[in-house]
Amino acid sequence: MIVDEAFLKSQIRTVPDWPKPGIQFRDVTTIFENPQAWRAVMDSLIHRYMNIEFDRIGALDARGFLMGSTLSYALNKPLILFRKKGKLPYHTVAQDYALEYGTATLEVHADTLQKGDKVILADDLIATGGTLLAASQLVSQLGGQTLEAASIMDLPDLGGSRKLKDAGIPVFSLCEFEGE
Ligand SMILES: O=P(O)(O)OC[C@H]1O[C@H](OP(=O)(O)OP(=O)(O)O)[C@H](O)[C@@H]1O
Ligand SMILES: Nc1ncnc2[nH]cnc12
């Protein structure tokens, strides 16, 4: 089962000029508020990963937490939280990255992975790819491997999915906003 792309796109709100002029903000809160759309999104992702061998789900702060949590529950896999800087209490490893509208640092607990672990990363959206690339660099730094990066939507005009693929990270998105 895979959600219909046109239906999914129609359920995502676009907010022009937020948080900065020129940015078309793709607002996924409208998916979370819509049980039919949210269930279709999560059923699609669960279906994709239910027969694949992997060890952990990595969820990206903040909207990726909702996807990662649901996948972890449904597939009975450990959940790793990749958090924005300064939120995790124990020993961490950190990676700086650039966003469409700023810079940030992602952290994860240093003992969150075992060497050789295969990880599925989950985030709502791929724009420049900086966030997912930073998470996959942290996975590699800890001796793991990113099996795939899963997102609800890809914004290919910003080049992120291409950048991830070029870095050897397979990408899966349920819909794309291209040239719009
Ligand atoms: O592909 P990229 O250019 O890295 O952009 C994608 C990231 O940007 C958004 O998060 P944001 O950093 O705005 O933070 P939030 O989830 O805390 O709102 C989105 O949820 C992704 O995590
Ligand atoms: N255009 C966009 N819409 C929503 N979230 C984003 N994160 C980075 N770019 C974004």
Report the pLDDT value the prediction gives residue 96, as an integer from 0 to 100: 97
pLDDT less than 70: residues of the chain: none
Report the pLDDT value the prediction gives residue 91, as an integer from 0 to 100: 98
Would you say the CB of residue 24 lies under 6 angstroms from ligand 2?
A: yes
Whose CA is closest to atom 19 on ligand 1?
125
Report the pLDDT value the prediction gives residue 180, as an integer from 0 to 100: 87
Start-to-end C-alpha separation, the chain = 27
| CA-to-CA dists, residue 125 to 53, 87, 92, 112, 121, angstroms | 24, 22, 24, 24, 12
What is the set of domains in the chain, with CATH numbers?
A: 53-176 (3.40.50.2020)
- Round to whole Å and give the CA distance between 43 and 37: 10
ipTM over 0.85 threshold: yes
Report the pLDDT value the prediction gives residue 99, as an integer from 0 to 100: 86
| DSSP SS3 for 141 | helix
> How many Å lie between the centroid of ligand 1 and the Cα of residue 125?
7
Entry pTM: 0.97
Would you say the CB of residue 94 lies under 6 angstroms from ligand 2?
A: no
- Round to whole Å and give the CA distance between 26 and 22: 13
Would you say the CB of residue 154 lies under 6 angstroms from ligand 1?
A: no
> How many Å lie between the centroid of ligand 2 and the Cα of residue 114?
32
Report the pLDDT value the prediction gives residue 133, as an integer from 0 to 100: 98
